[in-house]
Amino acid sequence: MNHFLKKLMKLGLNSIIGLVKFKKAFQFILGFILLFIFIEFLSYAFFLPDSGSILIALKFLFNEGILLHDISVSSARWIIGWSVGSSLGILFGIITGRNKIIATFIEGFILILRAVPFIALVPLVIYIFGLAESGKFFIIGWASFSVTWAVIHESSRKVSQMIYWRSRSLGVNKISWIFKIMLPHINSSILSALRTSLSLGLIVVAVAELSGVYEYSASHWWSEGIGYRIFRASDQARDDIMMASILVFSFLGITYDFILSSTWKMLSSVRYYFKKKSIIKKIKMLTEVSTNKQEILLTSAADLEIRNLSARYSDFKVFDDFNVELKTGSVLSIVGESGSGKSTLLKSIGHFNNGDLQSIGTVLLNSNEIDKVSSSIGIVFQEPALFDNLTIWENVIIGNNIRAIEDKILALNLIKNFGLLDKLTEKASNLSGGQRQRLALASAIANKPLLLLLDEPFGALDAITRHKLQRFFNEKINGKITSVFVTHDINEAIIIGNKVIVGLKKGKKEFIINNEKDVSGFEFTEQFVGLKKSILSALEND
């Protein structure tokens, strides 16, 4: 039965692929038919050459060697100008999109220059460069740069601040941040920018060649081109050659766009294929090694002391003078109403500040003050901030504290415990909401932080998975990683925490919970029911 279902699914998949390919082929065939009709209409209405005359002109250009020469020269100008301009556009787009100081100085300048139509620059370029090829490269490159920069600048700027904070909390260095996280994150925007700039570059090639080039000579390969051929044909009343050259531009644009898109997809597929093979090989090796070792346990933890911590957004004070102490490995649960500042507290503790949040106070781990985002503090946000273009395995081991083989075995065990082993080589973007939250939690724990901040990490999970992870947290993390756990669920706060705080205002209520509680049956005891009533009463009076 299973074999039959697999064959049926494979047949269905092949049918879908076949339909997609047929649709594309049909679109091109229909396009050629409509183009033929359009050319015949122009011939009838405006006395332009018909399709037959254009084909004869193309044959003439080919036989004389003119067609291949024009395509070669125009393509060379196009690709050189586009590749230099778009590469610089990507580079500057990333810089201005991610660095506010540099953006302050040069973004306005670039925006002013971008507002100038590239056609208006042609006389200036001819004045500076004459008919030299450098002028054509410049104007093609500038047009490609301007559109690429705009797309990449905006895409880079919109990379979630939480993605950046998560990478900082994992200790990811700047090189890895750019090449392993940010560039893959804006991958689709880069392709879109390259395709757009490629199309615009072709337009500029035509304008540049119409504006002035050297006529062909044996000693001057950089001469003429498709745009020049259009200009000369029009000047000599050779409408057949003019129309043929216009169509060559069209087919050239389609061809290069197809090559770019296909190459991009092929390289992405090849890279992902070898990445999967490499991960499978590593997991096999780690599995073999781990069978000869005892279970590797988490051992990172620290005493936490928070002194006089206050936070505000502009003139709005969120909380003031918050103080708490936690012993090594203890878990503090915080409950409160929505908007009471629980998430802001976590951001203030970890210094996850994008400029809007103003916080003052002291955070000490093992008596050492933490005054910036550090890999000593891990965080799991309410909305999981994952590196979507990385695989599950890459997301978990990207932290700078995961280096030794024991660290990777621990990471693998965490993935197993969080039920993600069968998706190890999949990209994080393919996961469901609950799976994403589990991955974020596994990644934060694997980096072995001294302090773990959790903003409703189980909120998006189903009841069974939530219960399993609560139990896992108590068995594997409680007592090993000092944690601050924010939740709306009173039951969860009691089950997870060694201490529960209600509200963040002065006079907040604190409840100490028996550290030796039996989690499996604790929620059915009189102690649990009494604590729940007391916490609920405190919430109502907060």
For 513-537, the three-class secondary structure string (H helix, E strand, C coil) is CCCCCCHHHHCCCHHHHHHHHHHHH
State whether 314 and 256 are in the same domain.
no
Is residue 391 within 8 A of residue 411, CB to CB? The reply is no
Q: Give residue-wise pLDDT tens across range 434-474.
A: 888 889 989 999 998 999 999 988 877 788 878 888 888 88
The residue type of 59 is: K
Check residue 466 and give its pLDDT.
Answer: 82
CA dihedral 464, 465, 467, 473 (to 10 degrees): 170
Query: For position 399, which CATH number holds?
Result: 3.40.50.300
Question: pLDDT tens across 9-22, in order?
Answer: 555 555 555 555 66
19 and 109 housed in the same domain: no
Greatest mean pLDDT range, 254-268, 357-371, 516-530: 254-268
93 and 152 fall within a common domain:
yes
Based on the fold, state whether residues 187 and 111 are members of the same structural domain.
Answer: yes
Residue closest to 459 by CA, chosen among 501, 488, 430: 488
Residue 211 has pLDDT above 60, yes or no: yes
Is 325 contained in some domain? yes
Q: What does 232-289 look like in DSSP terms, one character per residue?
A: HHHHTT-HHHHHHHHHHHHHHHHHHHHHHHHHHHHHHHHHHHHHHHHHHHHHHHHHHH
* Residue 28 and residue 152 in one domain: no
- 197 with 237, same domain: the answer is yes
> How many helices and strands in the chain, by DSSP H and E?
20, 10
Q: Say if CB 162 and CB 385 are below 8 A apart.
A: yes
Q: How confident is the model at residue 195 (pLDDT cuts 50, 70, 90)?
A: very high
Indicate if 63 and 43 belong to the same structural domain.
Answer: no
CB 482 within 8 A of CB 330: yes
For tokens 């692929």, the residue is 17
Spatial contact of 333 and 499, defined as CB atoms under 8 Å apart: yes
Give yes or no for residue 92 having a pLDDT over 90. Answer: yes
Average pLDDT, the chain: 87
- When pLDDT is averaged across residues 347-373 and rounded to a whole number, the result is 88
Residue 297 lies in a domain: no
Report the pLDDT value the prediction gives residue 49, as an integer from 0 to 100. 94
Q: Is the pLDDT of residue 516 over 70?
A: no
Kindly tell me the burial class for residue 542, based on how many C-beta atoms sit within 10 Å of its own C-beta (0-12, 13-18, 19 or more): middle
Residue-level pLDDT at 247: 94
Return all residues near 494 (Cβ < 8 A) that are at least 6 apart.
333, 500, 513, 522, 523, 528, 531, 532, 535
In a domain, 284, yes or no: no
For residue 299, the model assigns a pLDDT of: 63
How many structural domains comprise the chain?
3
Asked whether residue 2 carries a pLDDT value surpassing 70, the answer given is no
* pLDDT tier for residue 218 given thresholds of 50, 70 and 90: low
Same structural domain for residues 23 and 12?
A: yes
Instruction: Assess whether 332 and 226 both reside in one domain.
Output: no
For residue 350, how far is the Cα from the chain centroid? 23
Is 299 a domain residue? no
**Does residue 217 have a pLDDT over 70?**
no
Identify the residue whose tokens are 């216009």. 246
Report the alpha-carbon distance of residue 159 to residue 156 in Å, rounded. 5
Q: What percentage of the chain exceeds 90 in pLDDT?
A: 46
Residues 312 and 358 both lie in one domain: yes
Residues 530, 504 within the same domain: yes
Q: Are residues 105 and 81 in the same domain?
A: yes
pLDDT of residue 474: 82
Give the range of the structural domain holding residue 448, as residue numbers without chain letter: 304-541
